[in-house]
Structure 1
Amino acid sequence: MLKGISPSLSLLQDDNWGETTTVQTGTSEHSVSNEDLTRVSKELEESSPLECRRFLGPGLGAVLGLFALVTPLAFLALPQLLWREALEPCGTPCEGLYVSLAFKLLVLLISTWALFLRPPRATLPRFYVFRCLLLALVFLFVASYWLFYGVRVLEPRERDYRGIVGYAASLVDALLFIQYLALVLLEVRHLQPAFCLKVVRTTDGASRFYNVGHLSIQRAAVWVLDQYYSDFPVYNPALLNLPKSILSKKSSGFKVYTLGEENNTNNSTGQSRAMIAAAARRRDNSHNEYYYEEAEMERRVRKRKARLLVAVEEAFTHIKRLQDDEPAASSPKHPREVMDPREAAQAIFAPMARAMQKYLRTTRQQPYHSMESIINHLQFCITHNMTPKAFLERYLSPGPTLQYQRENTMGRQWTLVSEEPVTSALSKGLVFSLRRLDFSLVVTVTPLPFLHLGEEFIDPKSHKFVMRLQSETSV
């Protein structure tokens, strides 16, 4: 399962949000069925293992990395604690190795923090192969060094301390090389584009194209979801249906048969054919009706938009930012009420509320914008000296899905569906989908073509021209 984040928006929101302040939730306040309680408890049970899996991998990696960093220090400290009197003096060479070892450990610590100790943004259905390979490699290196250290140093109580310091320094060098390998496999390998991903939303057909490198299917799915929340417009089911007038007329075209006596067979057949022909003509004219319905809708949207622009412009003229050199107190000649941004937003929202409500209802965006969210956005625009057009930018065109994310909303789970194992690399013709309750994202993989770039030399002396004169030419 893959986690994503999307707004839980109810399409049953009251159309008169500007006149009422009732907050609607997904379940009724007075009646909760047993099925709803069972569903909620099941979701809570399924969310707990996912939260554990979210931190299990980074936790194990952090423990193994800390153990690998402490191991060289333990190699140096154990002889000093167990048989210090029997050690041979090392002198200046060991001091130089100490400095080198300290700087290498510092670099290793910072690079490990930057590369590995990052909070995960998604849970993958399978283990990340390269990360597991690197962790296994680190474990094998550290275990092998501990094995040889126990056999060659601890058991015979080695007296050459300079060799012990060099042995610890060699382990740090090996860990640095593994760190370089991790940087290549995890960060550099997929930077060069190799495949083109076509992402299509199954409901409204919204699509985008992305170039990616060599990724596994599950990592490509996470990358697609990251781009989806910022690039795709918000999913609005209300825009998918045809107008009700068209649907009602299309549904009325049924074939009707009249059952009667044998002497009325010809008349009933003629009536049936006439009704069938009329229904066919109505179906043929449905595209014209749809065309005029769309034109009427565009006219209404332009009308509502113009009224909204005028209302917002007039509302913004009623407030003015109080300058520092102006008196804060009200004077008898020029009464002025000093307000904070919240109060100013509530004051100028009333003149534009009706125009805003009608525009959002016409464009079917009202479920995504509550009165409280509009006031908060208006307060933000007033605080930062934004113009009315900057305020209306959010409502004149549907924004990305991430813009409608609500606070304290758990991210929805995505299901990765693929015929190939999700740990497999992307390949030509591969198709996988990311499913959610209300729609899916279908991803098609196409390799980028190999480019043959040739070279052709053009002699600068070849750029010479002559005038071709004809008898009809006026020159």
Structure 2
Amino acid sequence: MDTESTHSGYSSRSGRSNRHSERGRERHKAGSSKDSSRSEKSVIINPPETSSQDSPVHNGEPLPGEPMPAASDPGEEGQDDNWGETTTAVTGTSELSISQEEVVGLGKGLQDRTRGFRRYLPLAVGVCGGLLVLATPLVFLLLPVIMWPERLQPCGAACEGLFLSLSFKLLMLLTAIWALFLRPARASLPRVCACRAFLTTLTLLLTMSYWLFYGVRILDAQDEDYHGVVQFAVSLVDSQLFVHYLAVVLLELRHLQPCYSVCVIRSTDGETRHYNIGQLSIQNAALTILEFYYKDFPLHNPALLSASKHRAAKHLAGLKVYNVDAPGNTAGAQPANGNQSQAATAGAKRKDTAHNELYYEEADYERRVRKRKARLVVAVEEAFTHVRRMKKEDERASPSDIMDVREAALAIFPSMARALQKYLRTTRRQHCHSMESIQKHLAFCLINNMSPKAFLEAYLAPGPTLQYGPERWMADQWMLVSEASVTSSLKEGSEFTLRCLDFSLAVTVKGIPYIRVTEEYVDPKSHKFVLLLQSETSV
């Protein structure tokens, strides 16, 4: 019995231990499955794009032998476009599932198919509305002549005068429509303009109202008074001219008076401009700001931002990073006391010398720029002096030996090319100017007899974006990000962002305050005074 009880107790303990071990294995499996599911559901987010010196990309193209960089989404900065491929959805109960990649693909396909439709729909509606506006008065005049010509009363001198008035009014309306609506589009906006939609609806309602009245009172009754029909057509043209006047007020004159002051800040280098604009919608204000941007802002140069990134990377390279949560690193999570004090001392020294490094680096950069600039100015002045000497020699030479201006530009360009190339490399603007553009600018300066300073002004300071080649700005596709609807009007405190591929423009709106000017009357007699002189003067 004792042995049996002992054996039974051992078996019970072993059974309990087995059950505990099985439960532990199940918990371990559950934990591993959760960890695996977490790792499967994780989303890889790439860091923001680095500068041209940190990445193997030169002027937007990879170097030979380097892989193509992933394009960044302008709507989500720093996130990989292929995030749907790196995300795994785990479903245990549903047999039918659709991946994120398929959903994104369906959305992009639908957007591509409807892009052309959304782009040409306003144009088609405008053309149809314009043809309807111009053709309706003529149809009003032709239908009675075609349908019941024998019953019409003869048209007198007053009716013929109305014909003349109608012809000139239609000609003026056609010219006004061409001047206001048939202009090339400046940009493609995300939404339809609310004022244009309102004017189109008003024009259609006006035309349909006239058609209903014409069908009931003239076509059904077969009115014999042709003079009244002509007056009815003239009244329609007058109404259309007033609608066009309303269009001029809403589309051209309403936003001329400044109402808001907008502050535009470029995200990368902090370049800031302030503009006064009128009462506009958010999307029209964004279009106006972009037009100011290409005219006023200097060309965005990401190479100038690489110095601070390189300095920050060099500072972070000297720091030690410990992973406290790493397994088996509980004892060595922190360095020893001696090493810790040495690391703190080294960090304090690096912090003290950081501003010294920045100061000497900027001073050295300015010194090199001044040196390159002096060499470039001397080389250009010598080249222009040589050109003036050649002009004097050409005046005395035979016509067959006279050199063309472009040939002269090609002849003197090598004497200044090396100095100009070194200066542009030092200022990190060599990608903004090609050899062909420099030669064209040199020939332009020689043709117009400009000075060397006028030639150098295009290279000594960065110019606005439009002054450079179209390849620098034609590919820019902007995305408007706004919490409010883009068709709503600007308000005090409105904020929105214009995102591009490499940077973004943050826009804040402030209302121009109401200015009260008062007048204070100054009596002219208050300016008069009396000068008393002493009779006795010193000799």
Deviates more, 1:428-437 or 1:75-84: 75-84
- Distance change in 2, residues 1:224/1:34 (3 Å): closer
Q: Within 1, Cα distance between the matches of 2:245 and 2:407?
A: 56
Report the CA distance between 1:115 and its aligned residue: 1.0
Alignment pair present for 1:387 and 2:422: no
Paired residues of 2:372 and 2:422 also in contact (CA < 8 A): yes
Q: Within 1, Cα distance between the matches of 2:498 and 2:200?
A: 29
Partner SS, residue 442 of structure 1:
strand
Report the CA distance between 1:282 and its aligned residue: 1.6
Matches within 5 A, 1:12-411: 26=61, 50=115, 53-242=118-307, 246-247=311-312, 250-255=315-320, 268-319=336-387, 320-321=390-391, 327-329=397-399, 337-406=401-470, 410-411=474-475
Aligned residue type for 1:397 = A
1:186-210 Cα shifts (integer Å, max 9, x gaps): 1111111110000000110001000
- Distance change in 2, residues 1:390/1:91 (3 Å): same
Deviates more, 1:215-224 or 1:277-286: 277-286
Residue in 1 that maps onto 2:8: none
Aligned residue type for 1:83 = W
- Distance change in 2, residues 1:79/1:105 (3 Å): same
Partner SS, residue 317 of structure 1:
helix
Unaligned residue ranges in structure 2 (runs of 5+): 1-50, 72-80, 82-104, 323-334
Deviates more, 1:211-220 or 1:281-290: 281-290
Q: Within 1, Cα distance between the matches of 2:477 and 2:111?
A: 10
Paired residues of 2:465 and 2:472 also in contact (CA < 8 A): no
Q: Within 2, Cα distance between the matches of 1:162 and 1:173?
A: 17
Report the CA distance between 1:156 and its aligned residue: 2.2
Report the CA distance between 1:430 and its aligned residue: 0.8
- Distance change in 2, residues 1:357/1:324 (3 Å): closer
Partner SS, residue 149 of structure 2:
coil
- Compare the two structures and name the one with the higher helix fraction: 2
Q: Within 2, Cα distance between the matches of 1:26 and 1:249?
A: 26
- Distance change in 2, residues 1:245/1:99 (3 Å): closer
Deviates more, 1:94-103 or 1:434-443: 94-103
Residue in 1 that maps onto 2:479: 415
Higher relative contact order (CA 8 A, sep 6+): 1
Residue in 1 that maps onto 2:496: 432
Report the CA distance between 1:62 and its aligned residue: 2.3
Paired residues of 1:221 and 1:434 also in contact (CA < 8 A): yes
1:104-130 Cα shifts (integer Å, max 9, x gaps): 111111111111111111111111000
Deviates more, 1:235-244 or 1:177-186: 235-244
Report the CA distance between 1:310 and its aligned residue: 0.5
Aligned residue type for 2:496 = F
Report the CA distance between 1:218 and its aligned residue: 0.4
Q: Within 2, Cα distance between the matches of 1:312 and 1:203?
A: 34
- Distance change in 2, residues 1:236/1:408 (3 Å): closer
TM-score where L is the length of structure 2: 0.73
Equivalences, count: 432
Paired residues of 2:267 and 2:503 also in contact (CA < 8 A): yes
Q: Within 2, Cα distance between the matches of 1:170 and 1:446?
A: 45
Paired residues of 1:86 and 1:159 also in contact (CA < 8 A): yes
Report the CA distance between 1:244 and its aligned residue: 7.8
Aligned residue type for 1:26 = E
Deviates more, 1:367-376 or 1:212-221: 367-376
Partner SS, residue 359 of structure 1:
helix
Aligned residue type for 2:198 = L
Paired residues of 2:498 and 2:505 also in contact (CA < 8 A): yes
Q: Within 2, Cα distance between the matches of 1:250 and 1:35?
A: 28
Partner SS, residue 386 of structure 2:
coil
Q: Percent identity?
A: 54
Partner SS, residue 432 of structure 1:
strand
Q: Within 1, Cα distance between the matches of 2:456 and 2:115?
A: 39
Q: Within 2, Cα distance between the matches of 1:275 and 1:28?
A: 39
Report the CA distance between 1:236 and its aligned residue: 0.7
Q: Within 2, Cα distance between the matches of 1:238 and 1:44?
A: 36
Paired residues of 1:198 and 1:208 also in contact (CA < 8 A): yes
Q: Within 2, Cα distance between the matches of 1:392 and 1:456?
A: 53
Paired residues of 1:246 and 1:289 also in contact (CA < 8 A): no
Residue in 1 that maps onto 2:77: none
Paired residues of 1:97 and 1:166 also in contact (CA < 8 A): yes
Report the CA distance between 1:58 and its aligned residue: 3.0
Deviates more, 1:403-412 or 1:26-35: 26-35
Runs of 4 or more off by more than 6 Å in structure 1?
A: 28-36, 42-48, 322-325, 466-469
Q: Within 2, Cα distance between the matches of 1:387 and 1:52?
A: 53
Q: Which has the larger radius of gyration?
A: 2
1:280-312 Cα shifts (integer Å, max 9, x gaps): 122122112211211111111111101001101
Report the CA distance between 1:464 and its aligned residue: 4.1
Partner SS, residue 428 of structure 2:
coil
- Distance change in 2, residues 1:313/1:130 (3 Å): same
Q: Considering only aligned residues, what root-mean-square deviation do their CA atoms show, in Å?
A: 3.2
Unaligned residue ranges in structure 1 (runs of 5+): 1-9, 13-22, 258-266, 331-336
Q: Within 1, Cα distance between the matches of 2:394 and 2:310?
A: 59
Paired residues of 1:414 and 1:434 also in contact (CA < 8 A): yes
Q: Within 1, Cα distance between the matches of 2:291 and 2:409?
A: 33
- Distance change in 2, residues 1:217/1:468 (3 Å): farther
1:40-96 Cα shifts (integer Å, max 9, x gaps): xx9999788656644432332122112201111111112112222210012111011
